Structure formats: C-alpha cells, structure tokens
Structure 1
Amino acid sequence: MSELKKEITLLSGIGQLSTTLLGTGLFMVPAIVAGIAGYESLWAWLILFIAICPIALTFAQLGKRYPNAGGTAYFVRQAFNSKLEKSVAWLFLSVVPVGIPAAIALAGGFLQQLLPDSINSALFAQLLTIVMLIGVNLAGAKSSGRLQTFIALSIFALMAAFWWKGNFTSQDLVLPAMNSDSLWSIGAALGVMFWCFVGIEAFAHMGEEFQNPQRDFPIAIIVGCFIAGATYWICSIIVLKMGAYGSSAFDSASIPWISEKLFGSEFKALISVIGFGACFASVNLYTQSLSRMVWAQAKEYSPNSALARLSIRGVPANATFAVGGVALASCVAGKLSGLDLEFFLKLANGIFVLVYLLAMLAAYKLLSGFSRYLAAIALLLCTAVFICLGWSMLYAVTIFVLLSLPWNKWRTIQNSNRV
C-alpha cells in the first residue's frame, strides 16, 4: 500500500480541527493572557479572530487545490522549489523539542489526577500519554476523528455548564473601554494567543485523507475555526469574571479551579478526564501531521526507506514510531530543564507563525483572483503577528536560516577538494 486511506468525513474533520485548536490552549492561554492584559484581552481575542479569518480561508483554498500529506512544505514546493520545501518540512518538525513538551506535560498533568499513587509521577503520565498517542494514530484517521468529535462535544458541554452555574448574562459579553495604552498589553497578549490557532497548518497535512477534499476540507477549516474562536471567547469571559488568573499557578489550573469553585471537589475527576481528552486531542493531530510530514518527505526523497512504508491500515506506522520516540526524548529534556509553559509556548509560536507566513507566501504565488488578494492580507497579518512575538521569533528565524544554508553544496565542494 502506497497511498493514505480517504477516511475523513466533514463532521470528523470539523471535530478534529476544533479540538486541536482548543486542546491545550483552552486550559492555559485564557488565564495567561488575562494575566497579561486583563479585561483588555477580550479585545485581543476579537482582533486575533478577525486576523485568523483570511489565514484560515487561504489554507482552505490551498488544501482544496493541493490536498497532500506534505501540507505547507508541499505548497511551498509547488510555489517555489524542493530545497525550500525541505527547509519548511524540517522547520515544522523542529517544533517537536519546544511544542511537544508543553502540550504533553499539560495532558500528563490531567492524567496524573487519575492514576493510582503507586505509578503517579509526571514523567510516567507523559510516557503513558505518548503510548496512547501512538496507539490512536496506528488505528487510523477514522478512529481518531470519532474520538476527537466526542471530545469536542465534551468541551462544549463543560463551557455551557460553567456559564449556567456561574450565572453569566449577556452583560458579561460587553467589551471594555480601550485606549492607546491598551495597545501594548494587547500586542503582548497576541504573541501568546496565536498558540490557540496553531493547528490549521497541521490540519493541512490531513487533506489527502478526506473523502471529498475539494468540498469538505474548506468547510471543515472555516467551521472549525469559528467554533474554536467562540469557545475561547466564552472561556476567557468566564476566567476573567471568576478571577482565575494573575499567578503562575493559574496558567495550567484555571479550569480545574473554576470547576471546583462552581461544582465542588466531587467533579475533579470528570474535569481531569475532559482536560486530558482536550489536550490529548490537540497533540494527537500534531502527531498525525508530523508523522505524515516524515512519511511524505521519505516517500519523495527516499521511497525505499522504512519511513516511506504504510501499514495494512494505510497508516505511516514507522514514521509514527519515529515521532513518538522524538516526543519522548523531548518530554524528558523538558522535564529536566524545568522551564515554564509560557517559555515553550513562545518558542513554539515562533515556528508556527513562520510556517503560516511561508504558507501565505506560497498561496500568494499559487492562487489567483480574490483568493490571491486574501493571501496578501493574510501574509501581512502573519508578518504583524511575527513582529509581536519579539525575542521568541529568533528561535524560528535561526532554525530556518540554518536549514536554508547550502550544506550539500559545501559538502560537495569540501569532498572535491579532498580528492
């Protein structure tokens, strides 16, 4: 078998994208940005959602016209050349050392609450999470889509319960007054908040597995982004009104704290299950997309290698094991480093925003008519968000520059000089 199975339906696609965009972000970003900008973070959410619309629509057009497991790297190859494609592919893979530890650590934190004392440790919970990720990925995209749709429904039910129990009203939806001084805090908040809408570029790797990519892929992206944006908005209002922000303790525990405040400690286990499910769903799509990126690159440049093979279920099993192994090593390194979630978040955001920027650049060259104008707007927006990242964009720029250097040419010259 040399082709991926086309198992993703419209409903499962919406479920996969919405849970990926919510995932880890819902359980930490609203509290982090509330600590940065307070009630003015509501303006930041609105700005981000408006900014993400042309980006999402452009990805929808790219995925519709060029459905391929290579995702952004494939779009860049179609627009430019194979050398830049390789740089983008490795740039995307370089998110593993900084993005995976933060996401799996958060998922493992929820899983720890459910483990017996004899095996209750942070590292074991993360190891178990990785094993489960590999297992779900090996089962195929269809099973994964069903799981993530169920998780999405659980998240929506949780937010609805918070809104009802907390006696929230339409008055809580009113935006605060904004002045010129607000722009600095809103800009700083945007640098963190972009994490919530990373996942679209990963979802682009799944286009080849849609049953009807030309029709369903664009709809899944648009509807998934709208659902995620509305959920983040509601969650932020809840976090702000409940005062679940302002200290590092709330960065990853605001939702459990709110749950205990509203429903009591007896709901702790249920929140842990939903929290783990949400985080797991987010990391799951990235595991899928990263393994498909590895498989697509291996298929193109080393078709006889083990990484280029598919299992009986039509899954890149060897590539999945490889990604799982790197994720495990990254989690161990993340645990030993002792760095906080916000630090990893900012570094990962730099990678994601640069990948988005390169995708929009490819779209500007590949698309025509109104879609091209939309890509130009998205390109400008990605550039603005990239600037908002400040120092954290240096990690992405450094990685990309190193990957773009003519290493093979230099190696050839060096070898010829030796001869």
Structure 2
Amino acid sequence: MNQLKQEITLLSGIGQLSTTLMGTGLFMIPAIAAGIAGHFSLWAWLILFVAVCPVALTFAALGKKYPSAGGTAYFVRKAYNARLERAVAWLFVSVIPVGVPAAVALAAGFLQQLLPAQFNNAILAQVLTVVLLIGVNLAGTKSSGRLQTAIALSIFALVASFLWIGDVGSTDLVMPALSIDSIWSIGAALGVMFWCFVGIEAFAHMGEEFKNPQRDFPIAILVGCFVAGATYWACSVIILKFGAFGTPEFDSASIPWLSDKLFGSRMAIIISIIGFFACFASINLYTQSLSRMVWAQAREYRPNSALAQLSQRGVPANATWLIGGILLLSCVVGQLSNLDLEFFLKLANGVFVLVYLLAMLAAYKLLKGYQKALAVIALILCTGVFICLGWSMLYALVIFAALAMPWQKELKTQHPI
C-alpha cells in the first residue's frame, strides 16, 4: 500500500486549517504586533488579510489541480524540475530548528501549569508534547481532524467570551487615522504577523487525503483563512482595549492575563487546557505535513526504503517517528539556547515566506487565466512581506541557495506505479 487514505471531510479540513492558523499565533502575535504598532496593528491585520487572500486562492487552485502529499515541493517540480523540488522540500524541513521548537515551548508552557509540582519542568513538558504529537499522528488523519475541529470550537468560544465579558463596544472598533510614521510601524508588525497565516503551505500537503479534493480543498482553505483572520482581529481589539501588550511577559502571556482580569483565577485551568490544545493543533498539522513531505520524497525517489512505507492505518509511521525525533532534539537545543521568542519567529517566517514565493512562482507557470493573474498579485505581496523581514530572511535564502546548488547530477525521477 503506497497511497494515503482519503479521510478528510470539508468540516474537518476547515477545522484543521483554522486551528493551525490560530494555534500558537493567537496566544502571542496580537500582543507582539500591538507592542510594535500599537492601535495601528488593527490596520496591519486588515492589510495582512487582504494580502493573504490572493495567496490563499492560489494555493486553493494549485491544491485542486494537483492534490499531493508533496505540497509546494510537488508544485515546484511540476513547474520546474526535480532538483528545485528537493530544495523546497528540505527548505521546509529547515523550519524545525527555528520555528517548531518555539511553538512547542509555548504549548509546553501551558502544559506545565497542568502538571503536578514534581513534574513541573520545561523540558519534560516539551518532551510530553512531542510524544503526544507522535501519538496523534500515528492514530491517523481522521482522528486528528476530529480533535482539531473540537479545538477550533473551544477557541471561538474563548474569544467570544472575551468580547462579551470585556464589554467591547463600537468605540473599541474605531480604526486610528493613518500617517506617514504609522506606515513604518505597520510594515514592521507585518514582518512578525505573517506567522499567523503560515500553515496554508503545510495544509497543501494534506490535499491528497481529502475525500473530494477538487471540491473541498479550496473551500477549506478560503473558509479557514476567513475564520482565522476574523478571530485574530477580534483578539487584537480586546488586547488593545485592556493594554495587554508592550512587555516581554505579554508577548506569550496576554491571553492568560486577560482571562485572569476578566474571569478571575477560577478560569486559569480551563485557559491552560485551551491554550495547550490550541498550540498543539498548530504543531500537529506541521508534524503531519512534514512527515508526509518526507514520505512523498521517499515514495518518489526511494520507493523501497522504510520511509516510503505506510502503516496499516495508512499513516507514514516511519517518517512520523523521524520527524518526531528531530523535533525532540530541536526542542532540547532550543530550550538550552535561551534565545528570544521573536528571534525564532522571524527566522521561521523567512522560511515560510520563501516557500510561499516559490509556490507562487510555480503557480504562475502552472495556472492560466485569472488564476495566473492572482498568482502574480500574490507573488508581489509575498515579496513585500519578505522585504519587511529584513535581516531574518537571510536564514532562508542561505539554506535554499545551498540546497538548490547543482552539487550533484539530478537523480532520475522514479514515479510510483
């Protein structure tokens, strides 16, 4: 058996993407963006959502036409060649040392609050998070989709309760007047905020597992992006109203602080549970997509290898164990390095934006008509965001340049039977 099971429905697809886009981002990015741009961050969210729409539509068109576990790497191969496909594939893997450990650390921070005192240790909480990730992934896509849909509903309920109890009114929704000075702060905020819409490229790896990819995959992307965008904007309104931004502590604890202020300490455990599973949902899809990307590469170029095999549940189990092991090692190194959370995010964003750029270049060559025009618009917008990243884009550029160099003759493509 060398084909993934088609078990993802439209509802579970929307649940998976929306929780992935919100996940870790909801608990840190609105506060970080507010710290950079203040009330102008509300404009930044609107600009980002408008910018993401062409990107989302282009990914939807690519996924509908070319559903594959290879995701962006597969799109690039269809448009260009196998060497660039492999470069994109391993560029995507390079996000593990910089992006995923930060997300796991955030999830583990919530988990620590739920553990008994004798087990209240940061590294232990991260190890438990990774072990749970591996277990959920080995259980299969269907079980994972149900879990993430339930998590999405709990996040919506949390944000809605903040709006209600926080007495958010029309005066809180007034947008500040734009000025020349505000443009620079909005641009700086966008460089961090793009993290909130990374996940579309990971979701592209799941296209092959939809029951009806041609119909449901594009709808899941569009609805998932809209739901996530609206939730982020609402959360930012609340954070700005109560001033839950501007310090390193708020960067990762604005939501727990708001919960304590609005509900009191009685909600602390519930917030910790929701926070953990929200962050977990985001990392879960990335673990799924990374393992499927490794499996897709093995299926294509090493079909007889252990990484190309599927379990009885139709899951790339060996690839999942490999990704889990790398993730575990990266988390330990990340914890010991004691680097700033924003530093990790910017490096990871560089990788994601470059992956988006390469996907849009592939779309320009593969798509036709208005879809090609959308790809051009998305390419320009992604280039603008890439420039906003400044020095942090060097990590992605150096890795991709090294991977794309013709160090060896291209392997002959071995297509699966």
Q: Taking structure 1 as the reference length, what is the TM-score of the superposition?
A: 0.97
Letter in 1 for 2:84: L
The equivalent residue for 2:382 is 382
Mapping for residues 385-396 of structure 1, pairs under 5 Å: 385-396=385-396
Q: State the distance in 2 between where 1:88 and 1:342 align.
A: 24
Mapping for residues 44-59 of structure 1, pairs under 5 Å: 44-59=44-59
The equivalent residue for 2:144 is 144
SS in 1 for 2:97: helix
SS in 1 for 2:252: coil
The equivalent residue for 2:413 is none
Q: State the distance in 2 between where 1:315 and 1:340 align.
A: 35
Letter in 2 for 1:278: A
> Is 1:263 matched up with 2:263?
yes
Q: Deviations over 1:94-146 (max 9, x none)?
A: 00000111000000000000000111100000000000000000011110000
Letter in 2 for 1:393: M
Q: Percent identity?
A: 76
The equivalent residue for 1:73 is 73
Mapping for residues 165-244 of structure 1, pairs under 5 Å: 165-244=165-244
Count how many residue pairs are aligned between Structure 1 and Structure 2: 410
Letter in 2 for 1:334: G
Letter in 1 for 2:96: V
Letter in 1 for 2:361: L
Query: What is the deviation of 1:405?
Result: 1.3
The equivalent residue for 2:414 is none
Q: Deviations over 1:173-218 (max 9, x none)?
A: 1211110110110000000000000000000000000000000000
The equivalent residue for 1:348 is 348
SS in 2 for 1:235: helix
Letter in 2 for 1:163: L
Letter in 2 for 1:124: L
SS in 1 for 2:68: coil
Q: State the distance in 2 between where 1:237 and 1:176 align.
A: 12
The equivalent residue for 2:397 is 397
Mapping for residues 98-117 of structure 1, pairs under 5 Å: 98-117=98-117
Query: What is the deviation of 1:171?
Result: 2.4
Q: State the distance in 1 between where 2:197 and 2:26 align.
A: 11
Q: State the distance in 2 between where 1:19 and 1:376 align.
A: 28
Q: State the distance in 2 between where 1:23 and 1:94 align.
A: 20
Mapping for residues 19-98 of structure 1, pairs under 5 Å: 19-98=19-98
Letter in 2 for 1:164: W
Q: Deviations over 1:260-298 (max 9, x none)?
A: 000001110000000001000000000000000000001
The equivalent residue for 2:406 is 406
Query: What is the deviation of 1:170?
Result: 2.4
Q: Give the unaligned 5+ runs of structure 2.
A: 411-417
Letter in 2 for 1:148: Q
SS in 1 for 2:290: helix
Query: What is the deviation of 1:382?
Result: 0.5
Q: State the distance in 2 between where 1:205 and 1:172 align.
A: 39
SS in 1 for 2:303: coil
The equivalent residue for 1:161 is 161
Q: Taking structure 2 as the reference length, what is the TM-score of the superposition?
A: 0.98
Letter in 1 for 2:70: G
Letter in 2 for 1:23: G
Query: What is the deviation of 1:409?
Result: 4.6
Q: State the distance in 2 between where 1:245 and 1:326 align.
A: 33
Q: State the distance in 2 between where 1:125 and 1:340 align.
A: 19
Letter in 1 for 2:264: G
The equivalent residue for 1:416 is none
The equivalent residue for 1:289 is 289
Q: State the distance in 2 between where 1:170 and 1:89 align.
A: 46
SS in 2 for 1:298: helix
Letter in 2 for 1:8: I
Q: Give the unaligned 5+ runs of structure 1.
A: 411-419
Q: Deviations over 1:340-379 (max 9, x none)?
A: 1100000000000000000000000000001000000001
The equivalent residue for 1:358 is 358
Q: State the distance in 2 between where 1:313 and 1:341 align.
A: 36
Letter in 2 for 1:182: S
Query: What is the deviation of 1:30?
Result: 0.3
Q: State the distance in 1 between where 2:68 and 2:7 align.
A: 14
Q: State the distance in 2 between where 1:89 and 1:296 align.
A: 10
Q: State the distance in 2 between where 1:100 and 1:223 align.
A: 25
RMSD (CA atoms): 0.8
